C-alpha cells in the first residue's frame, strides 16, 4: 500500500519480538514502516496493528519500498537471527539507504560482529547501532530495557523514540546510550549471563526448599511471593511464584512437576563465559549455571544412574533429612543464601562490563593519537594502524 506521509522509523524482521516492538513504537505515536520478506509476516503485523488500536503501521513487501517509506535520516531496526541473516538483511536494505541513515541491530549479536558492521556501514556513510533488547516478547510490546551502543549520532536520532518505548521506572526510562562500538551488545550479553546465573540460583533454592524442606508447590508460591516483597524483589522471583501456582491442565497437580528437567539455551550465556575466560575475569556463578545446563542435558544418564543406585540399595539421603528439619529456619537461610549469591553473581558480571569501555577508549586513543595500548594476552605497548586496517577489511 502506498502512503503519502513518510514513517518516522522502520523495522525489518517480523517474528514475534519484531512485531511486538513495532507495535510498541507505533502505540507511542511514532508512525512505523514494517518489512519481512515473508509476506504473511507483514500482513500478520498489519492485522495486529489494526486490532490492537488502529496503530500507525504501514506494511511493505520489498526492501526498496520499505526503505523509501521512511523519513530521512532513516533509522531502520532489524530483528533477525544473529549471524549471517543480519548480514543478508543489511545487504538488502543498505542497497537503498543513503549517507546519514542508520541500521539498528536489535538482536543478540556477538559484539565483534557489530564492530565489523559498524566499519562496513561507515564506509558507505551509514551509521550503526547494536542495541540489546531485554524483556522478551512481553517486554518488547509493553516496555523493554534497551541497550544501544555504537554511533552517538544514530542514538541521538532515535532518542525520543527509545525513551518512550522503553520500560518506564521510577528513575526514568530503561534506556541509555551505552557507548561506542559493540558495547550495547556486550552489555546485553553480560546481562543475559547474569540472568543465567540468577535462574540457576533460584532453581537451586527451589531444590533445597522442595527436597530438603519438603515444601509443596503452594508453599513455594507463597514463599516466593513473600520474597518478592523484600530485597529479592525482581521479575524472576515474581514469575517463579506464578509458575508454582499453575495447575496441569492434562492431569493432577501443578504443571511445574511435569516439565522435563532439560534446559535449553541460545548462546549468550556461553559467550559471557567465553569472554570472561578471554579477559581473565572470574565468573564462577555464570560458568556454573552454564555447566548445569549442559548437565541437565544428560537426562538418560541420570535416570540410568538412579536405577542402578536404587538397585544397589543406596537410599535417597535427602529424604531422611526432611523429617527433622526446622522449616522456618531453612526458608530464611535459603533466602539469605540466594541474596548473597545474587550479589556475588552481579559483581562477576560487572567485572566484565567494567572492562569493555576501557578497551574501546584505549583503541580510540591509539587510533587518534597513537597513544598505544596494552593487550590482555601479551605484555608490552602496542600500536595499530586502525583506520588503514579497518578500511582494508571493509
Binding site for ligand NAG (CB under 6 A): 12-15, 36-38, 41, 80, 85, 89
Nearest to 353 by CA among 267, 257, 250, 283: 283
Cell of 189: 550479553
Question: Least Å distance between CB 80 and ligand NAG?
Answer: 4
Nearest to 27 by CA among 186, 164, 160, 172: 164
Question: Least Å distance between CB 105 and ligand NAG?
Answer: 12
Residue number with CB closer to ligand NAG (43 or 222): 43
- Assess whether 188 carries a catalytic annotation: yes
Residue number with CB closer to ligand NAG (89 or 345): 89
| 127-134 and 102-105 strand pairing | parallel
Residue number with CB closer to ligand NAG (62 or 336): 62
| 9-12 and 75-78 strand pairing | parallel
Question: Least Å distance between CB 273 and ligand NAG?
Answer: 28
Residues present in the chain in total? 394
CB 6 within 8 A of CB 71: yes
- Assess whether 262 carries a catalytic annotation: no
Phi, psi of 118 (to 5 degrees): -60, -45
Q: Choosing from 27, 115, 180, 195, which is the catalytic residue?
A: 195
Residue number with CB closer to ligand NAG (7 or 341): 7
Residue number with CB closer to ligand NAG (34 or 338): 34
Q: Name, in order, each residue with C-beta under 8 angstroms of 154's C-beta and a sequence gap of 6 or more.
A: 75, 102, 104, 127, 128, 129, 148
Question: Least Å distance between CB 87 and ligand NAG?
Answer: 12
Question: Least Å distance between CB 92 and ligand NAG?
Answer: 7
H/E stretch holding 168 reads strand 168-169
Q: Choosing from 27, 41, 120, 188, which is the catalytic residue?
A: 188
Residues noted as catalytic? 188, 195
Amino acid at each position: 500500500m502506498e502512503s503519502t506521509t513518510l514513517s518516522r522509523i522502520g523495522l525489518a524482521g517480523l517474528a514475534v519480538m519484531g512485531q511486538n516492538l513495532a507495535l510498541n513504537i507505533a502505540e507511542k505515536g511514532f508512525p512505523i514502516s514494517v518489512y519481512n520478506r515473508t509476506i504473511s509476516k507483514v500482513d500478520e503485523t498489519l492485522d495486529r496493528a489494526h486490532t490492537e488500536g488502529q496503530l500507525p503501521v504501514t506494511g511493505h513487501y520489498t526492501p526498496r519500498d520499505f526503505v523509501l517509506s521512511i523519513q530521512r535520516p532513516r533509522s531502520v531496526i532489524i530483528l533477525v537471527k544473529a549471524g549471517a541473516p543480519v548480514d543478508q538483511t543489511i545487504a538488502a536494505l543498505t542497497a537503498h539507504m543513503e549517507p546519514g541513515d542508520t541500521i539498528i541491530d536489535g538482536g543478540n549479536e556477538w559484539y565483534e560482529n557489530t564492530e565489523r558492521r559498524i566499519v562496513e556501514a561507515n564506509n558507505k556513510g551509514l551509521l550503526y547501532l547494536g542495541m540489546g533488547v531485554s524483556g522478551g516478547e512481553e517486554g518488547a510490546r509493553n516496555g523493554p530495557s534497551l541497550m544501544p551502543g555504537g554511533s552517538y549520532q544514530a542514538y541521538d536520532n532515535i532518542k525520543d523514540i527509545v525513551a518512550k518505548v522503553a520500560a518506564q521506572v521510577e528513575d526514568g526510562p530503561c534506556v541509555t546510550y551505552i557507548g561506542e562500538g559493540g558495547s550495547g551488545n556486550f552489555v546485553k550479553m553480560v546481562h543475559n549471563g547474569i540472568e543465567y546465573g540468577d535462574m540457576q540460583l533460584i532453581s537451586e533454592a527451589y531444590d533445597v526448599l522442595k527436597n530438603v524442606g519438603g515444601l509443596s508447590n503452594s508453599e513455594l508460591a507463597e514463599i516466593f511471593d513473600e520474597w518478592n516483597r523484600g530485597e529479592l524483589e525482581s521479575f524472576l522471583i515474581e514469575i517463579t511464584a506464578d509458575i508454582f501456582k499453575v495447575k496441569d491442565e492434562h492431569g493432577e497437580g501443578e504443571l511445574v512437576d511435569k516439565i522435563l528437567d532439560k534446559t535449553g539455551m541460545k548462546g549468550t550465556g556461553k559467550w559471557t563465559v567465553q569472554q570472561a575466560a578471554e579477559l581473565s575475569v572470574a565468573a564462577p556463578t555464570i560458568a556454573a549455571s552454564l555447566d548445569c545446563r549442559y548437565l541437565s542435558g544428560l537426562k538418560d544418564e541420570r535416570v540410568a544412574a538412579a536405577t542402578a543406585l536404587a538397585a544397589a540399595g543406596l537410599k535417597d539421603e535427602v529424604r531422611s533429612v526432611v523429617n527433622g528439619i526446622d522449616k522456618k529456619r531453612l526458608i530464611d537461610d535459603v533466602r539469605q543464601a540466594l541474596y548473597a549469591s545474587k550479589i556475588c553473581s552481579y559483581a562477576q558480571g560487572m567485572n566484565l562490563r567494567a572492562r569493555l569501555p576501557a578497551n574501546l577508549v584505549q583503541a580510540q586513543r591509539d587510533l587518534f593519537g597513537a597513544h598505544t595500548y596494552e593487550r590482555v594476552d601479551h605484555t608490552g605497548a602496542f600500536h595499530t594502524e586502525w583506520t588503514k586496517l579497518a578500511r582494508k577489511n571493509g
